[in-house]
Amino acid sequence: MSDVARLAGVSIKTVSRVVNDEPAVHPDTAERVMAAIEQLGFRRNLGARNLRRGSTTGTIGLIVEDVGNPFYSELNRAVERIATSFGRQVLTGSSEENSDRERELVLEFCARRVDGILVVPAGLQHGYLVPEMRAGTPVVFIDRPAGDIVADTVLVDNLGGTIEAVTHLAKHGHRRIAFLGDSPDIFTAAERLRGFREGCVRNGISYDESLVSMRTPTQEGIGDAVKRLLHGPDAATAVIAGNNRVAVHLLRALAHAEYRPAMVGFDDFELADLLDPPVTVVAHDVSALGHAAAELLFARVQGDQSPPRKVVLPVHLVARGSGEVAP
Amino acid sequence: MSDVARLAGVSIKTVSRVVNDEPAVHPDTAERVMAAIEQLGFRRNLGARNLRRGSTTGTIGLIVEDVGNPFYSELNRAVERIATSFGRQVLTGSSEENSDRERELVLEFCARRVDGILVVPAGLQHGYLVPEMRAGTPVVFIDRPAGDIVADTVLVDNLGGTIEAVTHLAKHGHRRIAFLGDSPDIFTAAERLRGFREGCVRNGISYDESLVSMRTPTQEGIGDAVKRLLHGPDAATAVIAGNNRVAVHLLRALAHAEYRPAMVGFDDFELADLLDPPVTVVAHDVSALGHAAAELLFARVQGDQSPPRKVVLPVHLVARGSGEVAP
DNA sequence: GTGCACTATGACAACGTTGTCTCCCCCCGG
DNA sequence: CCGGGGGGAGACAACGTTGTCATAGTGCAC
């Protein structure tokens, strides 16, 4: 900036006035300054600006499990849309379902003085956030609640959705329904299992633990579970996939099976309608999730001091075929 | 920081020494400082630090068309992985295939003094980058080359891949092959069309422009193209989808068709193997694309001054069924 | 006891901006 | 001719850090 000032033959402050479109600069002067800026390729240093003004940095942080997972990338996109409308930019990070990594990312973001943080929490302990939140960095939890603190949270109706899935299958005559979930440490997985249980109860089905598998989904693990749960005299006639990754592995495991059980997945996914049979899912609006969370965050950024809110978004069952076959 | 210093009864500089793990601080003093930091929830301001040290900001920018598109989110993930290994964080933005937006994002990133920029360019004019690059911000172009400047670029073999697709179909007896591409303004789309032409030539097929459609893919547009190209006396017996979105729309348009042509898609996608018939694609390694680009960028960040490089990654045809049916 | 090396600490400036205050000049009314 | 007002511009400090240099105190060899 001082180079520009020298070249234009003005003071550094006048350059500042020009780049900030402040009035009270003579047009001729402004033009000289602009020319100098152009010539030198000057670009104002936003870091220094934010430091001096004590203003917001114009960035927010988004932490998800994996930015490469279509579920989270859609979330990312929705968040970005809102951020852009508020003139903010988005720093993203993948926690890889690792709470240490999550914490590292959060603290790094705080050190960068992001205006706010959106996080799909991996861990259950979030006490480390208390000082940051007290220091004025708003945090909104997405898809899963904070472990041990009270904070803004946006969730989907995991419980209701899974109950609906069970009911749907029961309505089509199924009494032995398997549930393939994810690691029970993950809130959504635990909650959906709870919904599965409750769904069984409501439909007069005795809950059978041997038909449940709760573990991080891998192709091999799901393959084994399929062999175990869908064969033999007490085999399940229907199966619920606890999330989109379970669903994909399950579909692959079933692809060449001689017997195909009825199936309902939690989370919609692209091409579900083009498979044979098309896959019935409990769908929810991922964009709406990101949208709601980001809106909530920006309300906080702009000074909303009301008590922490908990938003639960609805889900709905999309019947496409795979869930409507009889036992 | 001055609050911490006051509470610990030391100078601000000593606090700085403690947070930077500098030697020559008495353990007792350090402990007092740590306690004060803990008590006040102090977190060093990275912005101020970077300003003072004149060092890098520890961030890089990534601009893609749409962070929500699985193709780009996988790229994002690969880039993030490398960035993390270099201790950097990633600012992301979606250009929405709009060159003004792209430019806005780039300049904003530069104003934030990112250490480097990775961009999947939307426009053809990149002269605006020259001052920034001269000022020392390295830029690497991904998937598409810069329009009018020389810069590091990482591409995939669009030409070779499409030739391979045509050859594959020709080998299975097809002589009338349709090509559904994207807007010809997009480098990859134009390049794949060029490959289609070349493929026809090499296989002794006369290139028929009436079997080609180059436009931004929408469900409706692809549906119309299908009606036009795959019916009538001169109907195509095979079709090449120019990218993953075209493929998805095409699959949906064909789902309930009485006649299904052979098909090969450019870009692999999840579940392609589970469709009926499984979809044959020209696949390339999106992770490798992001990996290579990020590695190249960090080499530049670390001072590599060698002439701009152009990397072309190989593609390979994955035969799954849809491309192996006879006319 | 003197000199020297070394440890622990602090004062101060500087990074690139911008807010505040001040100054100068010109124009206009009385 | 003088005073006041407003437009245009600059000097300076400050944002939160850290690099440089200075200083005070300690221990040790001579």
- List pLDDT tens digits, range A180-212: 999 999 999 999 999 999 999 999 999 999 999
Q: Is residue B126 part of a domain?
A: yes
Residue A292 lies in a domain: yes
Degrees (nearest 5) of the Cα angle A300, A65, A221? 150
Judge: B90–A94 Cβ closer than 8 Å, yes or no: no
Q: Is A288 exposed, middle or buried (0-12, 13-18, 19+ CB in 10 A)?
A: middle
For residue range A147-178, what is the model confidence (pLDDT) as tens digits?
A: 889 999 999 999 999 999 999 999 999 999 99
Rounded Cα distance, A141 and B124, in Å: 40
The answer to whether strand D lies under 7 Å from the CB of residue B53 is: yes
| pLDDT value at residue A297 | 97
- Which residue in A43, A69, A80, A103 has the most chain B C-beta atoms within 10 A of its own C-beta, making it the best mutation to test that interface? A43
Residue A25 predicted with pLDDT over 90: no
Residue B51 contacts residue A48 (beta carbons within 8 Å)? yes
**What's the pLDDT at B107?**
95
Residue A254, CA distances (Å) to A36, A153, A239, A278, B254 in order: 68, 36, 11, 13, 24
| Peptide bond before residue B277 is cis, with ω within 30 degrees of 0 | yes
Domain identity same for A67 and A101? yes
> In terms of domains, do A203 and A95 share one?
no
- Tell me, what amino acid is at A280? T
The closest alpha carbon to A55, from A98, A107, A115, A7, belongs to A115
Q: Which structural domain, as residue segments, surrounds residue B308? A: 59-156+286-313
Pair B136, B173 in one domain:
no
Report whether B315 contacts B161 (CB < 8 A).
yes
Query: pLDDT category, A22, cuts 50, 70, 90?
Result: confident
* C1' (D19) to CA (B251) span, angstroms: 63
Nearest to A41 among B74, B135, B251 (CB): B135
If you ran DSSP here, which 8-state letter would residue B207 be given?
P
Residue B82 has a pLDDT of 98
Specify whether B297 is located in the same domain as B211.
no
Choose, out of A37, A62, A112, A222, the residue to mutate when testing the contact with B (most B CBs < 10 Å). Answer: A112
Of B45, B46, B91, the CB nearest to A89: B91
The alpha carbon of residue A23 is apart from the nearest alpha carbon of chain B, in Å, by 23
- Strand, coil or helix: A200: helix
Measured to protein CB atoms, the chain C nucleotides within 7 Å are 7-12, 14-20
Tokens encoding B155? 């591409």
What pLDDT does B24 receive?
82
Residues A42-61 have pLDDT tens digits of 999 999 999 999 889 999 99
Q: What is the reported pLDDT for A53?
A: 93
Q: Which nucleotide is nearest to B43 (CA to C1')?
A: D16
Q: Sheet containing A177-181: which strands, arranged edge to edge?
A: A212-214, A177-181, A238-241, A262-266, A280-283, A316-318
Q: What is the tally of structural domains in chain A?
A: 3
pLDDT tens-digit profile of A65-112? 999 999 999 999 999 999 999 999 999 999 999 999 999 999 999 999
Q: Are residues A149 and A199 in the same domain?
A: no
Considering the domain architecture, whether residues A101 and A177 belong to the same structural domain is answered as no
Q: Is residue B49 part of a domain?
A: no
CA(B33)–C1'(C3) in Å?
A: 35
Cα gap A113→B44, rounded to integer Å? 9
Kindly state whether residues B64 and B179 are assigned to the same domain.
no
Whether residue B52 is contained in a domain is answered as no
Specify the DSSP element, H or E, that contains A263: strand A262-266
Q: Which of B63, B67, B71, B76 to mutate to test the interface with A (most CBs of A within 10 A)?
A: B67
Give yes or no for CB of A14 within 7 Å of strand D: yes
Cα–Cα distance for residue pair A172/A37, rounded to 1 Å? 72
Same domain, A264 and A296: no
- DSSP code for B145: -
Helices (H), chain A: 2-8, 12-19, 27-40, 46-53, 70-85, 99-111, 129-134, 158-171, 187-202, 219-229, 244-254, 286-301
* Residue type at B91 in one-letter notation: L
B255 and B228 assigned to the same domain: yes
Taking Cα atoms as reference points, which of A82, A83, A138 lies closest to residue A110? A138
The gap from C-alpha A309 to its chain's centroid, in whole angstroms, comes to 17
Residues of chain B with pLDDT under 70: none
DSSP character for B36?
H
Evaluated on CA atoms A257, A263, A266, A267, the torsion sign reads positive
Average pLDDT over chain A reads 94
pLDDT at A295: 97
Structural element, H or E, at residue B47: helix B46-53
Using DSSP's 3-state secondary structure scheme, residue B150 falls into coil
pLDDT value of position B147 = 85
Distance CA B286, CA B268 (A): 9
If asked whether residues B84 and B34 sit together in one domain, one would say no
In a domain, A251, yes or no: yes
Write out pLDDT tens, residues A262-282: 999 999 999 999 998 999 999
Q: How far is the CA of A25 from the C1' of C23 (A)?
A: 16
Asked if B230 contacts B239 with a C-beta cutoff of 8 angstroms, the reply is yes
Any domain includes B53: no
- Write the CATH number for B40: 1.10.260.40
Helical axes B244-254 vs B219-229, angle rounded to 10°: 60
Tell me the pairing of strands A89-94 and B89-94: antiparallel
Domain assignment present for residue A231? The answer is: yes
Residue A63's SS3 state is: strand
